[in-house]
Amino acid sequence: MAKRTIPPEPSSAQEKLSSYRQLKVRKSYYHYQYSDFQPRHRHASSPPVPWVQIKGYWLNQAGFTIDTLLSVEVKQGCIILKTQPT
């Protein structure tokens, strides 16, 4: 019999909402179009910019519902996102 390698799903909503997530800073580009003849994906003259994508049902569980306003505090090596009251 094969050994189970995938852990079972957490049973409660509290267990599913972990306080730790691991994301990766990725590379992207600003797509400036200087003329009609320049291809959209031409990156020769534009430097890469870092970007982080954050999405998931866990955001909703943590109070970050769709259309919620956020405040962003940036420090060296740290980004803090907080919901704003409506």
All structural domains of the chain with their residue ranges:
23-34+45-86
> Given this model, what pLDDT does residue 7 score?
54
61-85 residue pLDDT tens: 999 999 999 999 999 999 999 999 8
- Rg, the chain, Cα only: 20
- Alpha helices in the chain, H assignment, sequence order: 13-16, 57-61
11-38 residue pLDDT tens: 555 555 568 889 999 999 887 655 555 5
